[in-house]
Amino acid sequence: MTQTINLDEINDETDALRVAVSQLEAGKVVVVPVEVGVLVLALPSQLGAASRLTEIAKAVPEAIPVVAMAHRSVIDDYADNLSTLVYKLSRRCWPGPVALRVGGGQPEGFSADWSGDAREWALNASGRVFAIPRSNFSNTLLKRLSTPALGLVIPQTELERLDAGWADLIFSSREEVYEEGLTVVDVDGQNYQLERAGAVTKLSFSRLTGEVYVFVCTGNTCRSPMAEALFRNMLAQQMQCADDELLDRGYTVISAGLAAYPGSPASPEAVALLKEQGIDMSSHESRPVTEELLFHSDHIITMTQNHRDAILNAFPELAGKTRLLSDSGKDVSDPIGAGVEEYEICRNEIEGYLRLLLDQQSST
């Protein structure tokens, strides 16, 4: 008999999570809400788990087999020779309504030790499909498991097709869902194609694969905003497009400050200087540097060595994409409070370094 637990009626989910884990470890099928419908789970270590999910999938043609994980780092244990594009997309898409098909056409990593049909779950000649749900309960449950789970993503509207007793434990919720469903992307090296359109459109996904430049200073009101605005203008000129078309061309250019207070405008001197070049900075609002921003970026460009050191002291793994704006190692001094002439010197210095940067990027 199927047991149903309404998560909306629970204040503390601790007991519910414990029950879910024990049911899965006992070889049962557990259903949890996710942002694209429901996720039907079973453990690969349990004999017959994949066969049972396969029978469910036969009744719901729209069901999407996935391997459900709690964190993107786990993928390294279950797929070999992953490209830099896979890692970029995993940072930007997970957790969320996107699944990635990666790896080869054979069981790889620890999945080669799975038993029976589990070894072939969500696998075809192009690789295996992996997903990380954003929904809090589902993600927390996956974190409590010792292994990724075999999963089926099913639209809520299709559940009525299933017979009574198709699952052992169902967690329900009024959580809002993306009606378009799960987006599945096949990643092959540095190339990708949408295997299934869903909540993330083709245009939105192309933006996710683009290059993200982040210019960093201290307060994000003088140096880094000027660098952001100047570089965006240079890119647009090089690509012969409008500034607001850069995102669709695969480029995101932003700035942030290590000690920035959110929402502050750019300094009046910086706004006036760039206005002379036809660049409008009047709408700039400062933002602080965050871990998420740094890890989602492809190029972190700092105004001083101290800025770079501060970032790398906190996140040494970002060394490969964090650099000083100046190739010569010279700091760009902060002009704040020093007068218009110092701002002009700073602007000219930044502009010169940016032209070198753009030339370097164009030649790679």
Query: Out of 93, 217, 222, 346, which one is annotated catalytic?
Result: 217
Whether the Cβ atoms of residue 93 and residue 100 lie closer than 8 Å to each other: yes
How many angstroms separate the CA atoms of 321 and 55, rounded?
Answer: 47
Beta bridge pairs of residue 107: none
Measured in whole angstroms, the distance separating CA 178 from the mean position of its chain's CA atoms is 17
168 is catalytic: no
Beta strands 3-6 and 169-172: pairing type? parallel
* AA letter at 263: G
298 is catalytic: no
Whether the Cβ atoms of residue 32 and residue 20 lie closer than 8 Å to each other: yes
CA end-to-end span of the chain: 61
128 is catalytic: no
Query: What are the phi and psi torsion angles at 206 (to 5°)?
Result: -60, -35
**Closest listed residue to residue 121, CA positions, set 57, 35, 166:** 57
ω before 316 within 30° of 0 (cis)? no
Query: Out of 223, 232, 287, 347, which one is annotated catalytic?
Result: 223
Backbone angle region of 286, left / alpha / beta, with phi > 0 → left and psi within -120 to 50 → alpha: beta
Show which residues are catalytic. 217, 223, 334
